[in-house]
Amino acid sequence: MEASQAASAWSSVNSGIVLSLAAVLWTVVWNSLQSLQLHHLVGRHLARHARRLAAVVDPYLTVTVAEHDGGRMKRSDAYREVQAYLHRATCDASAGVRHLRAEPAKNPDAFVLSMADREEVADVFRGGVTVWWLAYSTPPREDDAGGGFYWGGRAARADRRFYRLSFLERDRDVVLGEYLPHVRREGRAAMVRNRQRKLFTNLAGDTWGDDGGWCESVWSHVVFEHPKTFDTLAMDPARKKDIMDDLDAFRNGKEYYARVGRAWKRGYLLHGPPGTGKSTMIAAMANYLDYDIYDIELTSVRTNTDLRKLFIETTSKSIIVIEDIDCSLDLTGKRKNKKKKDAAAAKNDTDGDKKESPPSEEEEKDKEGSKVTLSGVLNFIDGLWSACGGERIIVFTTNHVEKLDPALIRRGRMDKHIEMSYCGFEAFKFLAKVYLGIDAHHLFDAVRALLRDVDMTPADVAENLTPKAAGDNADTCLAELVKELEKAKADKAQAKGKAAATAAAEEEVDGDDDEE
Ligand SMILES: Nc1ncnc2c1ncn2[C@@H]1O[C@H](COP(=O)(O)OP(=O)(O)OP(=O)(O)O)[C@@H](O)[C@H]1O
Ligand SMILES: [Mg+2]
């Protein structure tokens, strides 16, 4: 044992001496060639053989995977996949990783662990091919800091992170041809296993990625946990099935969209009065498809470019939502901030005769930044950029479909228009089944007749069908609903009578004026 250690120490000293001698010799030869003006010729010749030379001295090849490849527009999928792939090896005691990065995980008590910088882990593929992964980072380049391109900002100022894969020259074909695709496949599978559905909003922030990585994003998110599914959404069953079939066709339509040469995306326009279940429908869609939701608050988006940026940072398998599109976008091309305006109007009302206060700094800033235009939104939906990524659903909701510009909602942009209406008899029957567990009752006919005359939202019907006291059952709940509907019908008749009386009175006054 000792003899072999001594021999290996001696051989490393020897090779050190040989390398130093070679370096000195090389300098002497190179200087002589330069003085004879022959260095260009020899240099070209040497460059051709440099690779082979390197393989003799250092028989390793490397592949580097950068966190942001190309521009800084998007985190590289390959990097995230490698990170997810290496997660198990990193936590394995036998891998010998001594420095780990700990980041918050799904489970509030746990951490997601990954390799710290300069840590290396070995991996064996097919029992014979050994490779080594090294994690490292470099400071941001100076030209990044100014924000180059429009991406700029904090993402550009963050360290540039990499994984470097090293392997023996003789394993080149296996590593490049089989191992690397295997890493990506396994990494993707790990990401899907760990995936939590998310609800994103366009408030810029630093956020933890699926893989536990710290990513800087124009979106911030919370875990999406909405209980509404199509099973509990009250709607005419035939219409519901139609929507579910449409979603299925979209989800399975990758080849179809490629064949007909269209981007793999679909637009839905949900319109109808308040409280008829538009937002609820979006939650049901996301639960059904198992997609993330990106909820865009258009009034906080400053420019068309920012809108595009938001779009690029969305991932596939997602639903991008713009609620109340008619309120967020002035169709002449300017935006207005409905909520702020409402609040301001309410304030003015309560202030009564107080003088109007000068606009606040925030309002001024908002005015300056109000540059999202209709054409920006149209581009967002079906411009060239909208095709990147694929498998996205875009949903607009509105209470006033008639106010929307036809260009915005034409087929191809909003492919499917879904009207969410007041509760009809079919939706009522569905609610009765879900809430009371009944398919028929002698009061059903009365409800059917009343629902024809009265507009009641599914939310209100559901509220009436909910048992509230210990003795409540199907009879009492339905009786309660009938009572409410009759009351609503009487109120409606009274309002109509009043309106007719006012109109008649006005006509009479007009008539008197004419006579005079
Ligand atoms: N069809 C329905 N089935 C079951 N519950 C419903 C249905 N429609 C509405 N609700 C319930 O009514 C409430 C309001 O619904 P929701 O927020 O989806 O309405 P909306 O159409 O988005 O209204 P708005 O136009 O004001 O945004 C929710 O709590 C939801 O659970
Ligand atoms: Mg809503």
Give the 3-state secondary structure of 452-481. Answer: HHCCCCHHHHHHHHCCCCCCCCHHHHHHHH
Closest ligand to 461 CA?
1
Length reported for the chain: 516
Give Cα separations from 106 to 194, 295, 357 (angstroms): 8, 21, 47
What φ, ψ does residue 226 adopt, rounded to 5°? Answer: -110, 130
pLDDT at 143: 58
Q: Whose CA is nearest to atom 7 of ligand 1?
A: 277
458 lines ligand 1 (CB under 6 A): yes
**Both tokens assigned to 263:** 């981007």
- The closest of 315, 268, 278, 312 to 293, measured between CA atoms, is 315
418 lines ligand 1 (CB under 6 A): no
Q: Which of 231, 279, 465 to mutate to test the pocket of ligand 1 (most atoms within 8 A of CB)?
A: 279
Q: Give me the torsion for CA of 78, 80, 84, 85, rounded to 10°.
A: 20
280 lines ligand 1 (CB under 6 A): yes
pLDDT at 140: 75
Closest ligand to 276 CA?
1
Q: Whose CA is nearest to atom 11 of ligand 1?
A: 459
3 state DSSP class of 439:
coil
Query: Are the C-beta atoms of 422 and 348 separated by less than 8 Å?
Result: no
pLDDT at 362: 47
Q: Could you identify the atom of ligand 1 that is nearest to the CA of residue 273?
A: 25
Kindly report the number of other CB atoms within 10 A of residue 107's CB atom: 8
Which CATH architecture fits 226-353+360-419? 3-Layer(aba) Sandwich (3.40)
Kindly report the number of other CB atoms within 10 A of residue 151's CB atom: 18
* N-to-C CA span, the chain: 128
Query: Ligand 1 centre and the CA of 368: distance in Å?
Result: 35
pLDDT per residue of the chain (516 residues) written in tens, 0 to 9: 344 444 444 444 454 455 556 555 655 565 565 555 555 455 545 645 654 565 566 688 999 999 876 555 566 888 888 988 988 777 777 677 888 887 666 566 777 777 888 888 889 998 889 999 999 988 876 655 444 333 444 444 567 889 999 999 889 999 999 999 999 999 888 877 777 777 888 865 544 444 444 445 677 777 778 888 898 888 888 899 999 999 999 999 999 988 988 889 999 999 999 889 999 999 999 999 989 899 988 888 888 888 888 888 888 889 999 998 888 776 544 444 444 444 444 444 444 443 344 545 445 444 555 578 888 888 878 777 676 768 899 999 999 888 888 888 888 888 999 999 899 899 899 899 988 999 999 999 999 999 998 889 998 998 899 888 888 888 999 999 999 999 999 998 888 888 888 888 887 777 666 665
293 lines ligand 1 (CB under 6 A): no
**R_g over Cα of the chain:** 33
Please state the pTM of the whole predicted model.
Answer: 0.64
Query: Are the C-beta atoms of 380 and 308 separated by less than 8 Å?
Result: yes
Query: What are the helix and strand counts (H, E) for the chain?
Result: 20, 15
Closest ligand to 272 CA?
1
Query: Are the C-beta atoms of 163 and 65 separated by less than 8 Å?
Result: yes
- The closest of 293, 276, 278, 270 to 219, measured between CA atoms, is 293
What φ, ψ does residue 473 adopt, rounded to 5°? Answer: -145, -170
314 lines ligand 1 (CB under 6 A): no
Query: Ligand 2 centre and the CA of 43: distance in Å?
Result: 70
Query: Are the C-beta atoms of 80 and 178 separated by less than 8 Å?
Result: no
- The closest of 341, 337, 329, 319 to 270, measured between CA atoms, is 319
Query: Ligand 2 centre and the CA of 401: distance in Å?
Result: 14
Considering Cα of 345, then 349, then 351, then 357, what sign does the dihedral take?
Answer: positive
How many degrees, rounded to 5, is the angle at CA 263 between CA 316 and CA 409? 100
pLDDT at 509: 74
**Both tokens assigned to 249:** 């066709």
